[in-house]
Amino acid sequence: TDDKGVFNTSLSTEFELVGKHFDLDNEQLKDLALSAVEYAFCGNEEKYELMEVIQTFWKSIKQ
């Protein structure tokens, strides 16, 4: 997903594919996203902000 023009995909599409191919539910996909942030090369403040964005997003789509 680094270059949408080259790969013609989005992060949402990538999550959908991972969920389907590895039989992951929404909670597991959320945990995957949070783990990615935990191990990202950025400061703790930025990690916290990113985790808040992810949590807010998942709450908004939770059914």
Widest CA span of the chain, in angstroms?
Answer: 34
Helices 26-38 & 11-21, crossing angle to 10 degrees?
120
Helix (H) or strand (E) run with residue 45 in it: helix 44-61
Percent of the chain with pLDDT over 70: 92
How far apart, in whole angstroms, are the C-alpha atoms of residue 34 and residue 37? 5
- Whole-number Å distance between alpha carbons of 36 and 34: 5
Which pTM was predicted? 0.77
Mean pLDDT along residues 9-17: 87
Q: Which amino acid is at 11?
A: L
Q: Each residue of 16-33: pLDDT tens digit?
A: 999 999 999 999 999 999
